[in-house]
Amino acid sequence: MRFSKTIFITALALFSAKSLETKLQYVGVNEAGGEFGENNLPGIYNKHYIYPNIESIRASVEQGMNVFRMGLRWERFQHELFGEFSEFDVTEYKKVVDATTSMGAVLIIDPHNYARYNDNIVGSKEVPIEAFADFWAKLANIFKDNEKVWFGLVNEPHDMETDDWFKAARAAVDAIRATGATNNILIPGNGWDGAWSWGKEAWYGEANADVALRYFSSEDKNIIFEVHQYFDEDYSGTHDTCIQRPCQNLLKEFVEWLKTNNLKGWVGEIGGTLNDECKECVHELIEYLQENRDYVLGLQWWAAGPWWGHNSYSIEPNSEKAFPGQMAWLKPYLPGPSYLTEVPTFINEKVYCKKCEVTATGGDGSLWGWEDEKSCEIDKVGCGFVEKPTETSEPSQPTETSEPSQPTETNELDPNSCKKFEDLGFKCCSHCVHIYDDKTGLWGVEANEWCGISDECLVSYKNCWSEQYGYPCCDSNDVFLEDELGKWGVMNGSWCGIPNAN
């Protein structure tokens, strides 16, 4: 019996070694939660934000995942630029880091700040590059002795000059290296870090592919270039579709750039809803990346974390170590050691609490309770925390005594310009909430005066239909309510429209 077991284990080891020859070195997931509550900074732990559940990470490691990207907020770690770090957040964050790396997995530090501090861009007078370098020098000094900790400079820079971003990245790398840290460093690109646009000049003047080479080369040790890629219609990862087929095509330009310049790459975020289209898309992508594993070291799913609830992209395991179905898609590609041959799955449906007692608030505005020794989500509508949105609830119509005169109808002017409103003596609105329309166009009210809705709002409506009713678009696809206007979610405690739901 002992002999037979030894033969089986030896055979399994040989099979696993052969299998690893074709797999990516690293496959894992983003652990979100520490970056939540961006409107409440620094915020209250377990109310506005939370760090990952160590046992959930352990369940993923047991399935074969070997890398985890863990979000944080710069403003939470460092309440003032150049200031000392928050002892509480460093301690809580480090608990998860140490536990994860002790399991043999890599932990990527992810300041989920979009190259900003309090909404001010890195490199601006409010946030000088030196402040960004100082932040990273302090982080490096804390974690530099753990080689399984990698440094992801920041999440998805955008709306800044590409040269400004890579200049800041170079300064941060130099500051990290000055501490003696040799850890791997992940450098994202500008323009939301999309792989599909890596070589395109449309993003803020210059392409990532060109500017990155001004500041970095293959001579830089332990530098990895990170991209993100989703496969819905606008590459945002906010829809249930995966229509950019074949999905590997979106990565080819980036991979060829890596090959040409002898560089290493990383796919820091992919994701998709549980359907056959997205499943095939994910398989196409990973098969392609495996073929190019000499240049692409790994990839990570978006996302997991204790407050994702029933989010359609979530692969957070439950207390029984079962996962949403997408984990089963990833299982054949997971490179870490695992004695498990299958992934137990569950249907990731919304489970509301029986009562309305709130014990925590999610970063997306969701409310949570604790019943039967586990978390459950509060029914915000049923419990009366929010009212059903209506088309006329916000903003209120001007009263009869204060309502300005109706704008005069006139011949149709250029529909793509504010000029048609200005010719009538009205300004364009600074918002996109319309409450009246005529042959001229759409009208809103500002400072108790009529104003015209600009063409920029018309473009915005195509992607965010709820803006015209005074509600922003949600940053997730979680549906709380559906009415004649469309599908509604909740974000930061207020109603929001599910993008492209109409």
Rg (CA), the chain: 25
Cα–Cα–Cα angle for 164, 42, 352, rounded to 5 degrees: 110
For residue 126, CA distances in Å to 85, 116, 129, 147, 156 come to 19, 10, 10, 33, 20
Name the catalytic one among 156, 206, 316, 467: 156
Helix boundaries (H) for 21-78: 54-63, 74-77
280 has catalytic annotation: no
Among candidate residues 348, 362, 388, the one with its CA nearest the CA of residue 471: 388
The 10 Å Cβ neighbour count of residue 493 is 15
Name the catalytic one among 31, 75, 206, 269: 269
For residue 80, CA distances in Å to 118, 168, 276 come to 10, 19, 47
Task: Supply the angle between the helices 162-178 and 208-215 in degrees, to the nearest 10.
Answer: 30
Q: Which residues pair with 473 in a beta bridge?
A: 497
400 has catalytic annotation: no
Helix (H) or strand (E) holding 28: strand 26-31
Long-range contacts (CB closer than 8 Å, 24 or more residues apart) made by 97-100: 97/70, 97/143, 97/146, 97/149, 98/146, 99/54, 99/57, 100/54, 100/57, 100/61, 100/68, 100/70
Taken in order 203, 209, 215, 221, the sign of the CA dihedral is: positive
Among candidate residues 178, 172, 167, the one with its CA nearest the CA of residue 144: 178
Note the maximum CA span of the chain.
Answer: 93
Q: Say whether 197 sits in a helix, a strand or coil.
A: helix
- CA 290, chain centre distance (Å): 24
Q: Which residues pair with 320 in a beta bridge?
A: none
d(CA 474, CA 453): 22
For residue 353, CA distances in Å to 48, 358, 362, 374, 494 come to 19, 10, 15, 10, 20
Taken in order 230, 234, 238, 240, the sign of the CA dihedral is: negative
Which residues are marked as active site?
A: 156, 269
